Structure formats: C-alpha cells, structure tokens
C-alpha cells in the first residue's frame, strides 16, 4: 500500500510540475484559473486530469474540441513517476529532481528560468554540507561560472544556481561526469539540429539524473 501511495504521489507531482511549466511558458497565472484546454478553453474535469490514464483513454485528445495535445505528456508522466518513485527514499535527490525538471521544461521553451526558486534550497545545502569538501568545489564552480557569465558572456546567469545545486547534490567523482554527459548530449543535439545556441539546463538535468540513477543502481547491485 505504501509503494502504491508513493507511485500515485509522484505521478501527481510530475503532472503538476508539467502543468505549472506550461502555464509559466504561456504567461498564464498559476492560481487564477482551473486547468483548461489550450485550444477551446473548456474547463477540464477531474477525470480529464488523471496522470497517464486520461491521456491513454482519450488518445491524447481534448474530449470537447477533439484537438490533440500530444501523447508526450503521458510519456513524461510515466517516466517521471517511475524515476520519482525510485528516488523517493533519497530526499535530497528527490527534491532536486523535481526542481530541475521544472527549470528544464521552462528553459527548453523560453530559454529563461526562474533560478531564484533554488536559492533557499541552495542555502540549506550549503549549511547541511558545510564540513564536506564539496563546499570548496561549489565555491570554485561559482567563481568560474561568474567569470563565464559576466566576462566571457558564454553562459546565462540562471545556470549558476543550477550548477551550484548539481555540485552540492553529487560527489566529487560524479560532478565532472555529469558535466561531461551534459556537454556531449548538448553537442550531439547542436550537430544534429544545426542550431547556433540551445538551452543548457535540460542537458544538465539529463546528465545529473543519469549519473544519479547509474550510481544508485550500481550501489544496489553491489550491496
């Protein structure tokens, strides 16, 4: 029963974060209106909002105007539900995963993020990890990032809190692997799609999540 509740909780959280990201990206106030169809404006009932199941039953179409909104929502909800449930026992990784998911979705659509939402959490992580050597790594990352943002102007200022968060939630060995994986995946995307610039937070999120999951799977297999 406990595992079922954890799965339901993560499914709802992923769906909610995707909804919040959609509203922010489309400049819609997140509190003044219930969920509605972006095409016809019809208010959605509770049974239209069940994660994964509603999209499968309606073939990812609005029940009122029959316009498709894409099955990718269901795919994201399924993957997010599984990953969130797997990380649930590690509170720091679980919280970090959802914060980075929201910022990754926001950055992908607008190339701008509300990175200030990370500041209270980063302050907590600094206090929590004060005696850990990773604090020195975080300080070095912050100095290098400030140089790249304000002197070289090759990185957005919103990337600084994201990099600090990743530094404080990874080990000294996994942090460079995260950056390497994020950079390689971003480079492959640039080559494939022939674009000059791209939002980097989604690739940082992909690199961080991949390394975290690999570490946990290896640890569970060897223990």
pLDDT at residue 32, as a whole number: 65
Q: What is the DSSP letter of 42?
A: P
Coil, helix or strand at residue 36: strand
Contact 88, 176 (CB under 8 A): no
Q: Give this prediction's pTM.
A: 0.87
**Would you say residue 143 has pLDDT above 70?**
yes
User: In the predicted model, what is the mean pLDDT of the chain?
Assistant: 85
Q: Which residues does 46 contact at the CB level (< 8 Å), separation at least 6? A: none
Which H helix or E strand runs over 13? helix 2-25
Question: 87 — phi, psi (to 5°)?
Answer: -85, -5
Q: Which residue has the tokens 């914060």?
A: 99
pLDDT at residue 52, as a whole number: 82
pLDDT at residue 113, as a whole number: 87
DSSP-assigned letters across all residues of 54-80: HHHHHTTB-TTT--B--THHHHHHHHH
């Amino acid at each position: 029963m406990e595992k079922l509740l954890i799965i339901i909780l993560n499914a709802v959280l992923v769906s909610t974060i995707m909804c919040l990201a959609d509203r922010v990206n489309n400049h819609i106030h997140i509190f003044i209106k219930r969920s509605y169809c972006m095409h016809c404006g019809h208010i959605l009932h509770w049974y239209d909002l069940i994660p994964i199941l509603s999209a499968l039953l309606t073939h990812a179409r609005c029940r009122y105007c029959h316009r498709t909104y894409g099955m990718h929502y269901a795919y994201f909800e399924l993957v997010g539900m599984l990953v969130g449930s797997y990380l649930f026992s590690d509170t720091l990784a679980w919280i970090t995963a959802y914060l980075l998911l929201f910022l990754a979705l926001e950055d992908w659509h607008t190339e701008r993020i509300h990175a200030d939402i990370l500041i209270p959490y980063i302050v907590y992580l600094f206090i929590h990890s004060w005696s850990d050597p990773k604090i020195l790594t975080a300080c070095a990352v912050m100095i290098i990032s400030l140089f790249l943002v304000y002197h070289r102007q090759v990185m957005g200022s919103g990337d600084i809190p994201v990099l600090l968060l990743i530094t404080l939630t990874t080990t000294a060995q996994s942090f460079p692997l995260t950056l390497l994986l994020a950079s390689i995946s971003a480079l492959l995307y640039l080559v494939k799609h022939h674009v000059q610039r791209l939002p980097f937070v989604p690739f940082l999120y992909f690199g961080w999540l991949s390394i975290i999951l690999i570490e946990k799977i290896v640890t569970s297999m060897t223990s």
